[in-house]
Amino acid sequence: MGKLDGKTALITGSGRGIGQAIALKLAGEGARIVVNDLDPEPAGETVARIEASGGAAIAVPGDVTAPGFAERYVAAAIEAYGGIDIIVNNAGYPWDAVVQKMSDEQFQAMLDVHLTAPFRVLRAAAEPIRVAGKAEAEAGKAVVRKVVNISSIAGLFGNPGQSGYASGKAGVVGLTQTLAKEWGRYNVTVNCVAFGLIETRITQPKGSGTETAQIGDREIAMGVQPAVLDTIRQMIPLGRAGTPEDAANAVYLFCIPESDYISGETLLASGGLKG
């Protein structure tokens, strides 16, 4: 018996990296996963891995920033599994530049994916969650639902070259605290996990062959200068960068029954690094 048996979890950006690790972790505890990725192939890969381990999952590919995506995503979850128990707003990417070189398009793109998209998913889920919570309360049942929004150490303390990314990630902390107050009456906990340096394609050393990612019609530079990575690692008290599995474990803490009385909090999963 898993701690999440019978639960349905929506995880955006779960075709790769941290999102995929979260999906595999929650599925391993019995949750049915509604996978999302910008591209169908990685979304399908995550579904296949979950099903190969005996779990249940469906894929809903698409751009989380696209109009109508949130409603389609929530509707797919309800059609497949009958309801929503966990939402993890994870999808995102960096598009960096120092402020004097950052275009309006760059800044807005960071707000769109890191703040507006989570807002839209939560807004689309609000009525199904309200209806389910009301029915359960009238029946004398106590069902706790979970929202986990993903932020970053940059959203808490800032980071050079990331005014757009940091602003979006800071905004989602405020969204988290507000929804915790709005949705408490529906028996929903709303929390946030802010990651430090986690080893994904986004944080690979420049020169490792993973320097760009295709985001829609944009080719976005990825990777970090090796000297910068070395400096950050030396600042981490635990002495290493985190793995996607480390990140998934932090999210998992907010999804299990043991956290049913914790809401409106931001957990920094950074190996002890604090900006």
Which band of pLDDT confidence, cut at 50, 70 and 90, is reported for residue 208? low
Q: Is the pLDDT of residue 54 over 90?
A: yes
Mean pLDDT of the 26-54 span? 98
Mean pLDDT of the 166-172 span? 98
- Predicted local distance difference test score (pLDDT) of residue 214: 82
User: How many other C-beta atoms are found inside a 10 Å radius of the C-beta of residue 128?
Assistant: 15
Which band of pLDDT confidence, cut at 50, 70 and 90, is reported for residue 227? confident
Is the distance from CB of 84 to CB of 77 less than 8 angstroms? yes
Which band of pLDDT confidence, cut at 50, 70 and 90, is reported for residue 220? confident
Which band of pLDDT confidence, cut at 50, 70 and 90, is reported for residue 202? confident
Mean pLDDT of the 89-96 span? 96
User: Which tens digit of pLDDT belongs to each residue from 7-36?
Assistant: 999 999 999 999 999 999 999 999 999 999
Amino acid at 182: E
Which band of pLDDT confidence, cut at 50, 70 and 90, is reported for residue 103? very high
Choice among 73, 93, 165, 186 that is catalytic: 165
Between CA 198 and CA 129 the distance in angstroms is 32
As a CATH number, domain 8-200+242-269 is 3.40.50.720
Our answer to whether residue 165 is catalytic in this structure is yes
- Predicted local distance difference test score (pLDDT) of residue 217: 81
Mean pLDDT of the 169-197 span? 98
State the pTM of this model. Answer: 0.96
Q: Is the pLDDT of residue 216 over 90?
A: no
- Predicted local distance difference test score (pLDDT) of residue 211: 65
Helix pair 17-28, 40-52: axis angle to 10 deg:
30
Is the distance from CB of 235 to CB of 157 less than 8 angstroms? no
Which band of pLDDT confidence, cut at 50, 70 and 90, is reported for residue 223? confident
Contacts of 192 (CB under 8 A, 6+ apart): 148, 149, 150, 151, 172, 173, 176, 265, 266, 267
Dihedral sign for Cα atoms in the order 198, 10, 53, 42? negative
Residue ranges covered by each domain of the chain: 8-200+242-269
Q: Is the pLDDT of residue 205 over 70?
A: yes
Which band of pLDDT confidence, cut at 50, 70 and 90, is reported for residue 102? very high
pLDDT above 90 coverage of the chain, percent = 88
